[in-house]
Amino acid sequence: MIERIAILGTGLLGTSAGLALRAAGFRGTITGWNRGAEGGLTALGMGAIDSIASDGIEAARASQVTVLAVPIYATLDWMEQLAPILGSEHLVTDVGSTKAQITAAADRLYNTPERAAFLPGHPMAGKERGGAALGDANLFRGAVWLFTDVPTWERSPHGAALVKGWREWVEAMGSKTIDIEATRHDELVGWVSHLPQFVATALSALLEEEVGDAPELKDVGGRALREMTRLGASPYSMWRDIAYTNTEAVQTALHALEQRLAHLRENLRTPALRDEFEQANRFRRDA
Amino acid sequence: MIERIAILGTGLLGTSAGLALRAAGFRGTITGWNRGAEGGLTALGMGAIDSIASDGIEAARASQVTVLAVPIYATLDWMEQLAPILGSEHLVTDVGSTKAQITAAADRLYNTPERAAFLPGHPMAGKERGGAALGDANLFRGAVWLFTDVPTWERSPHGAALVKGWREWVEAMGSKTIDIEATRHDELVGWVSHLPQFVATALSALLEEEVGDAPELKDVGGRALREMTRLGASPYSMWRDIAYTNTEAVQTALHALEQRLAHLRENLRTPALRDEFEQANRFRRDA
């Protein structure tokens, strides 16, 4: 039923979505738009999109489903621009890492009988570096793809069929879908996604200061160090909007970890160290 | 020249050393001793050792090189037991994760013209779980194998040839050897090995408390969460001795990371966040 898709932003996620749709058997058109010419050409060359649109608004208007695959503030900006132009024959969805602000904007701008539908989405997949060239048809395979604000679809009867169709394509790309309330989403990813990232950043920055002048000694850390600092390569440009739009949840999580580390530091020679290891073991056993 | 090796402790590292020696072409005898019968039988069945000794002291006496592959306090205990029994025709080496106490014991008990030589060693390789069954001939391939206290060999002329021979086998197992002073070793591994472990333990324990009751939501974290908490599976039994014998370095590192996390938490919406990401990026670029 979905035959025309526009992907606005052909970075890592947008390009991967195009490739994954093709790999899953999508035979309709995929039009791409990208702020920089190079990313668009790379996605085109990889077969993730069929054509490059010079105007993202026109591309969205000509499609049934528009996927916003840009940073969070750029997503909010596109939402404002597209809402007055699109109608009930359109679905807009996104891949942003925080959902409270995007879901609030969707409630305000979309999802009435006359307007386009908006389905806030968040695939829990990525790499520590971005860009079209790293696009991967298997990026979403085995990943969880979260959707928020799902209960409001009775307000957008036309959109409901498009939403159902898009969810089926997400599953065809290999993802498991989970519906979750937007505020709970942001709290949860604060713990399981943003906290690990900010810890890896702080650990990498600290180690750069402490052992950065002895590159041969970094080898000493081996696989464990490489894993614990891999996310240290993540660029600020990807994480700035997350830090701005989920500040409170991230602060809560960071503060809790600071206290946990202090507790561990004060108990390196007491039985409480065993308790910490055993609680950590439980997390991994259930994982 | 080395034809008889004893491995005291056939856990993950001891079993892997036996397997790696064989894979590298060692054709002499490898005698194993293990505190528990099962670990010894597993190592024997895997071909890591040729025979199981009921008495570790006898096994050491009959060998030219004895590898202590047990936790740190057990290593110190074996060092005390073996020193009066072995002579200048013997080399003892170990694989312990902290080196200041072991190196001090070596200076006190070994490395005179009459006594056995002792070469403190530390292969930077392991897995988050131990045991003979996980033994792996390739565990040391591409890893760094650190040696401390190397400058004192003029005190043990007989041992020097055995030391040279053992270092050649370590390289044949695929490791890169680096010599480092013992105190500097403990400081360095406090940063690049122990800090990452204790962070993973604290992060895993915290997440068990915060999201442990929602197992399906752990999937949400994806690869990043799995990597950042993999070491959370490490057992207390492996890390207790490290916490006890490198307390000060670990405390220094943990405290520095607590401050770094607090700094990041206070700057989620300021330009200092960019600086942290860029410094973390530099660590990974050089890595």
User: For B215-235, how does the pLDDT look when each residue is reduced to its tens digit (9 = 90+)?
Assistant: 677 778 888 999 999 999 999
pLDDT of residue B287: 58
Structure confidence at residue A53 as a pLDDT band (50, 70, 90): very high
Look at residue A55 in the predicted model and tell me its pLDDT: 97
Residue B150: band (very low, low, confident or very high) from pLDDT cuts 50, 70, 90: low
Q: Could you tell me if the ipTM is greater than 0.85?
A: yes
CB contact under 8 Å between B265 and A244, yes or no, is no
Residue A41 pLDDT exceeds 80:
yes
* Range of lowest pLDDT (A45-59, A77-91, A123-137, B210-224): B210-224
pLDDT category of residue A149 using cuts at 50, 70 and 90 = confident
The minimum CA-CA distance between B265 and chain A, rounded to whole Å, is: 5
Report yes or no: A204 and B241 within 8 Å, Cβ to Cβ. no
The two tokens of residue A200 are 């890896």
A207, A254, A259, A270: best to mutate for the B interface, most B CBs within 10 A: A207
Instruction: Give pLDDT tens digits for B257-266.
Output: 999 999 999 9
What's the gap in Å between the CA of A214 and the closest CA on chain B?
A: 10
**Confidence class for position B286, pLDDT limits 50, 70, 90:** low
The pLDDT of A212-232, averaged and rounded, is: 85
B98-132 burial: b if 16+ Cβ within 10 Å, else e? bbbbbbebbbebbbeeebbbbbbbbbbbbbbebbb
**Among the partner residues B188, B273, B283, nearest to A243 by beta-carbon distance:** B273
The rounded distance, in Å, linking the Cα atoms of A255 and B266 is 10
Q: So what's the pLDDT on residue A151?
A: 55
CB atoms A221 and B276 under 8 Å:
no
Q: Do B281 and A232 touch (CB under 8 A)?
A: yes
Q: Which residues of A fall within a CB distance of 8 Å from B178?
A: 216-217, 220
Name the average pLDDT for chain B. 94
pLDDT at B159: 87
Tell me what the mean pLDDT of segment A45-69 comes to. Answer: 98
Name every chain B residue with its beta carbon within 8 A of the beta carbon of A209: 279
First to last CA, chain B: 37
- Residue A67 sits at φ, ψ, to 5 deg, of -105, 115
Burial (Cβ within 10 Å: 0-12, 13-18, ≥19) of residue A279:
buried
Which residues, 6+ apart, have CB-to-CB distance to B256 below 8 Å? A206, A210
Average pLDDT over residues B92-99: 97
Q: Which residues of B touch A204 (CB under 8 A)?
A: 279-281, 283-284
**pLDDT at residue B223 in the model:** 86
Name every chain A residue with its beta carbon within 8 A of the beta carbon of B227: 227-228, 230-231
Q: Which of A216, A243, A281 sits opposite B269 (nearest CB)?
A: A243
Query: What is the distance of C-alpha B197 from the center of its chain?
Result: 13
pLDDT at B130: 87
d(CA B170, CA B177): 8
From A197, A262, A279, residue closest to B205, measured CB to CB: A279
Mean pLDDT across the stretch B164-191? Answer: 96
Residue B264 has what pLDDT? Answer: 98
Q: Residue A116 gets which letter from DSSP?
A: P
Higher pLDDT, B217 or A119: A119
Range with lowest mean pLDDT among A3-17, A185-199, B126-140, B266-280: B126-140
pLDDT of res. B14 = 98
**Confidence band of B99 (pLDDT split at 50, 70, 90):** very high
Q: Are B195 and B189 in contact (CB under 8 A)?
A: no
Greater model confidence, B113 or B247: B247
- Contact indicator for B100, B188 with CB cutoff of 8 Å: no
Distance from CA of A175 to the nearest CA of B (A): 11
Name the residue with tokens 């401390």.
B148
Q: Which has the minimum average pLDDT: A132-146, B142-156, B165-179?
A: B142-156
- Give the pLDDT score at B34: 97
pLDDT the model gives residue A150 = 66
* pLDDT at B248 > cutoff 80: yes
Decide if B196 and A225 are in contact by the 8 Å CB cutoff. yes
**pLDDT > 70 fraction of chain A, expressed in percent and rounded:** 97
The pLDDT value recorded for residue B87 is 95
**Cβ–Cβ of A274/B236 closer than 8 Å?**
yes
Per-residue pLDDT band for B151 (boundaries 50, 70, 90) equals low
- pLDDT above 90 covers a percentage of chain B that reads 86
Angstrom distance (rounded) from CA A238 to CA A229:
17
CB pair distance less than 8 Å for A280 and B232: yes
CB pairs under 8 A between A and B: 300
**What percentage of chain B reaches a pLDDT higher than 70?**
97
Whether the per-residue pLDDT at B152 is higher than 90: the answer is no
Position B149 scores a pLDDT of 74
Nearest CB partner across the interface for A203, out of B199, B208, B232: B199
DSSP summary character for residue B120:
-
The confidence score (pLDDT) of residue A213 equals 82
As a whole number, the mean pLDDT across chain A is 94
Measured in residues, chain A has a length of: 287
Nearest C-alpha of chain A: how many angstroms from B25? 25
Residue B127's pLDDT is what? Answer: 83
Q: Give residue-wise pLDDT tens across range A236-279.
A: 988 999 999 999 999 999 999 999 999 999 999 999 999 999 99
Give the closest of A191, A235, A280 to B211, CB-based: A191
Q: How many CB atoms lie within 10 A of CB A24?
A: 17
> Is the pLDDT score of B154 beyond 80?
no
